[in-house]
Chains A and B, each alone.
Chain A
Amino acid sequence: MDDAVSVRELVVDRGEGRVLHGITCGVPRGTVTGLLGPSGSGKTTLMRAVVGVQTVGSGAVDVLGRPAGSADLRRRVGYLTQAPSVYADLTVRENARYFAVLQGRGRAEADRAVTDVGLGKAADQLVGTLSGGQRSRASLACALVGEPELVVLDEPTVGQDPVLRADLWARFHAMAAAGTTLLVSSHVMDEAARCDRLLLIREGRLVADDTPAAVRAATGTDDLEEAFLRLIRDAEGEAR
């Protein structure tokens, strides 16, 4: 399978503790791959390693055929951090236009990115005056504005209302259908069903790497939350 991201035996230590214990996984091109796991399981650390901003202990991360963090990947990878990282003292449009220039794009692309995340009406508002959900969509617009080949989104749907959440997922699938690869993290299991593939991590270890249907079949339940519980129990049973 042609993977946009391939992670081999990745070990990351932060401070005293080990955050990732030798993770090996792949993200196939043109899919929406969900990275699921409880808070503190290492999702953000794995995403930072893919984007190339994380100092890694050992192992390898290849992105679009290049080592993660290579200079030429900066045009090809879009990254949305968990906390909205946009300028609160600029308007939504000004933020999008700035990040558009950094990615070699123009005003038209910036304005389209703002409309695409549903902020067309709030485009001239200062980001500091927006609600939490709007602010994180402003940040999302800045991650998508360069039309990157790989999009890494850390909890993009937190704090969004259900209608917007459905819109965003529809948009992610439309992007994947057009050839973009998306790696999307979430700690909400009901979002797992919306992904083409799932990576479940817990306490820095990979518990599952499969399609939602295969996860359901392997665990004999239709409920993904229950399926993950069973996978975790099985993994812990083996460890003992």
Chain B
Amino acid sequence: MNGRILAATTGRILRQLRHDRRTVALLVVVPSVLLTLVYFMYVDQPAPPGAPSTFDRVALIMLGFFPFIIMFLVTSIAMLRERTTGTLERLLTTPLGKLDLLFGYGIAFGLAGVLQSTVASVVAYQVFGLETAGSAWLVVLIAGVNAVLAVALGLFCSAFARTEFQAVQFMPVVVAPQLLLCGLFVPPDQMAGWLQAVSDALPLSYAVEALQEVGAHAEPTGTMWRDVAIVTGAAVAALVLAAATLRRRSG
């Protein structure tokens, strides 16, 4: 890796995003619109005594979901474009290292994910009165790590897509099972044993557990840090796998 090349690559990706104002607007506004929807869905639902309100429970986890879903899609398409327009092949004839490119994407879209979850968090806390025992900054941190994980998975999956149609199909394949089994709908300890095992193998489950720790405890807990480390480790592993899919020579 080379610091100058990594910085230039990150800047280049962010500059591309900045030229696409509509994408930036959608990125920032859509989560708040969806939070509004969720707020009014649950506003009249009574909470069980002693438990957080349903909105608090759902909104907290949604703050982690947004960057995960969106950054996965954005990255898959961006990387597919690099492959189909020939820029990837050209980049690989230059001194740029594979990790410069992959970490460039991780940092650039990770930052975009942090921006997205920061705006969504401000709306959730300030407008809809979301309450968590722990700090809102920890929520943004976990959302940012989620974004990096999504970027890494997107970079890896884009190697298996030849067209945009195929690339978007990886969303239900990679993202949907993680959403279903992460503990938002059914807590993992109430799932059948084999489903629990699958849930334990999926990185998003740890991100959700980390968010629930922030919801329940005033200070960051050991479980939360362990979960953040697991999600980070999964992101690094996916980046290394993605590097293995980049070939300087092809047929």
Contact = CB atoms under 8 A, between A and B. Distances in A.
A55 B251 contact: yes
B250 A55 contact: yes
B16 A101 contact: no
Interface in A141-180: 142, 146
Given A81-B90, A88-B85, A89-B20, A102 B251 contact: no
A98 B9 CA distance: 7
Interface string B86-121: 110111111110000000000000000000000000
Given A83-B85, A89-B16, A74 B93 contact: yes
Contact of A69 (B11, B86, B90, B248): B248
Nearest to B17: A89
Contacts of B249: 52-55, 69
Contacts of B86: 81, 83-85
Contact of B19 (A15, A52, A85, A89): A89
A215 interface: no
A53 B96 CA distance: 14
A126 interface: yes
A101 B15 CA distance: 15
Contact of A15 (B9, B89, B93, B251): B251
14 contacts: A52-B93, A53-B250, A54-B251, A69-B248, A81-B90, A83-B85, A85-B86, A87-B87, A89-B20, A90-B19, A94-B15, A101-B5, A102-B95, A103-B94
Interface in B157-194: none
A201 interface: no
Given A94-B15, A98-B8, A102-B95, A85 B90 contact: yes
Interface in A85-114: 85-90, 94, 98-99, 101-104
Interface string B219-251: 000000000000000000000000000001111
Contacts of B90: 79, 81, 85, 142
A85 B8 CA distance: 18
A233 interface: no
B87 A51 contact: no
Contact of B95 (A75, A86, A90): A75
Nearest to B94: A102
Contacts of B94: 74, 99, 102-103, 146
Q: Interface residue tally of chain A, by bracket?
A: 20 to 34
A14 interface: yes
A85 B89 contact: yes
Contact of B12 (A85, A87, A88): A87
B15 A90 contact: yes
B196 to A, nearest CB: 44
A53 B89 contact: yes
Given A79-B90, A81-B90, A101-B8, A87 B95 contact: no
A79 B93 contact: yes
Given A51-B93, A53-B89, A53-B248, A101 B19 contact: no
Contacts of A89: 16, 19-20
A23 interface: no
Contacts of B93: 51-53, 74, 77, 79
B23 to A, nearest CB: 10
Nearest to B91: A102
B87 A86 contact: yes
A168 to B, nearest CB: 19
Nearest to A13: B251
Most buried by A among B8, B12, B248: B12
A85 B87 contact: yes
Nearest to A78: B93
Given A53-B89, A85-B89, A90-B16, A103 B248 contact: no
